[in-house]
């Protein structure tokens, strides 16, 4: 049974009024009216009253940092804002002291954002070991089997973008902690829809972007950096806002870095993106991530059950603990299926030959059944 009034939240999404069934949040989310209204208010103030708004924006910045911290069960001083997930991951990749022969563990179905920053380290003599997936799943025993005495870092997506498989981050975190390995997580397909506890999961570094499940525009992201990890990062890039009291002593040039993760925010920030994130995060936290997870998994249960009656199968079925908001469906011609669904105003995605369905907390079972009926007709 739903633990929130879904109709009141559906009213926040203008896309519904167009007659569209939007099931593509793993790519880009539609913007809720709260975000649109907040951005319009910001732009009006920037054009008329709060034109030079660095000081007046600080309360929104502080509160948004707090929302992001609540989402991950950490403290606001461990949160830094970035332009995208890749740039956040690059902070980690470029900040660690690497030696020739050091090794990194990835897997062979990662989204490229969590691969190229680490592949780029090959120029320093760092080697990357790819764990092979087992029918879309990345198993703990396969990760453990790749560990060598030179393994320095393991990075994985909480939820795999192609298959929807959700890794057991607590088990992986415990493994990394036991073996002295840095544990990095790309959370862009989980943050906002699946619970994340960086303390319990023993995560050292986490990055996520706002345009998917967090329902914000492109170009805004944030990272969690543990206090211990911050002590191991030698910052490759610095800016005027990286230091303490950056606005008070412009020409007293000094390497006096801020004590918090704010040190990684090197200059002018995306205030419009942060304004958007402020509204979307407050909405998601108001609904409750546990409630969102339960509803989205209920929708996936329904879809997987209905697919079987059509002779279709999802990449990841079975236990709910392995599943997420992504249901990827194997079909003979995914592009043809997607095109016909689009004509029916049902928006899904095609990724590497599969139909990817990704409902959010405001989608309904009726919408899932409409999708199934259209698949049946196709």
49-98 tens-digit pLDDT? 999 998 999 999 999 999 999 999 999 999 999 999 999 999 999 999 99
Q: Quote the tokens at residue 31.
A: 């913007």
Count of domains forming the chain = 2
86-142 tens-digit pLDDT? 999 999 999 999 999 999 999 999 999 999 999 999 999 999 999 999 999 999 999
Q: Say if residue 1's pLDDT is above 90.
A: no
Question: What's the average model confidence in pLDDT over 150-172?
Answer: 98
Domain contains 36: no
Strand partners, 209: 221
Domain contains 77: yes
Residue 213 belongs to a domain with what CATH number? 3.40.640.10
Residue in 319, 62, 86 with CA at minimum distance from that of residue 211 = 86
**Alpha carbons 102 and 282: distance in angstroms, whole number:** 41
Question: What's the average model confidence in pLDDT over 275-289?
Answer: 98
Residues 277 and 293 grouped into a single domain: no
Q: Quote the tokens at residue 86.
A: 């890749």
Residues 200 and 295 grouped into a single domain: no
Residue where a domain stops, chosen among 286, 312, 327: 286
Q: Residue 304: which domain range?
A: 6-23+288-377
Unique residue bearing structure tokens 């993106």 = 273
């Amino acid at each position: 049974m739903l633990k929130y009034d879904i109709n009141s939240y559906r009213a926040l999404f203008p896309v519904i009024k167009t007659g569209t069934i939007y099931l593509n949040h793993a790519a880009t989310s539609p913007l809720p009216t709260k975000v649109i209204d907040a951005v319009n208010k910001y732009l009006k103030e920037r054009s008329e009253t709060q034109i030079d708004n660095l000081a007046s924006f600080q309360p929104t910045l502080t509160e948004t940092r707090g929302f992001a911290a609540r989402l991950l069960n950490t403290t606001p001083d461990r949160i830094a804002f970035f332009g995208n997930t890749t740039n956040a991951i690059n902070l980690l990749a470029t900040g660690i002291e690497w030696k020739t022969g050091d090794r990194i563990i990835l897997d062979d179905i990662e989204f490229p954002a969590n691969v190229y920053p680490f592949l780029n380290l090959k120029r320093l003599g760092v080697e990357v070991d790819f764990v092979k997936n087992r029918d879309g799943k990345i198993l703990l025993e396969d990760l453990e089997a790749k560990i060598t005495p030179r393994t320095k870092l393991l990075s994985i997506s909480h939820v795999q973008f192609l298959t929807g498989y959700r890794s057991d981050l607590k088990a992986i975190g415990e493994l990394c902690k036991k073996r002295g390995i840095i544990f990095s997580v790309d959370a862009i397909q989980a943050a906002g829809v699946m619970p994340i506890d960086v303390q319990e999961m023993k995560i050292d570094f986490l990055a996520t972007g706002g345009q998917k499940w967090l329902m914000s525009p492109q170009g805004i992201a944030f990272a969690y950096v543990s206090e211990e990890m911050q002590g191991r990062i030698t910052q490759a890039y610095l800016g005027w806002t990286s230091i303490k009291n950056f606005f008070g002593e412009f020409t007293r040039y000094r390497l006096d870095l801020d004590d918090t993760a704010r040190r990684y925010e090197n200059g002018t920030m995306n205030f419009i993106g942060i304004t958007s994130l402020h509204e979307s995060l407050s909405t998601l936290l108001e609904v409750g991530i546990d409630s969102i997870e339960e509803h989205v998994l209920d929708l996936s249960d329904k879809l997987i059950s209905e697919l079987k009656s059509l002779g279709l199968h999802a990449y990841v079925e079975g236990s709910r603990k392995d599943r997420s908001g992504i249901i990827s469906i194997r079909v003979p011609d995914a592009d043809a299926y997607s095109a016909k669904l689009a004509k029916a105003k049902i928006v899904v995605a095609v990724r590497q030959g599969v139909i990817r369905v990704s409902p959010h907390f405001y989608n309904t079972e009726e919408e899932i059944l409409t999708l199934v009926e259209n698949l049946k007709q196709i």
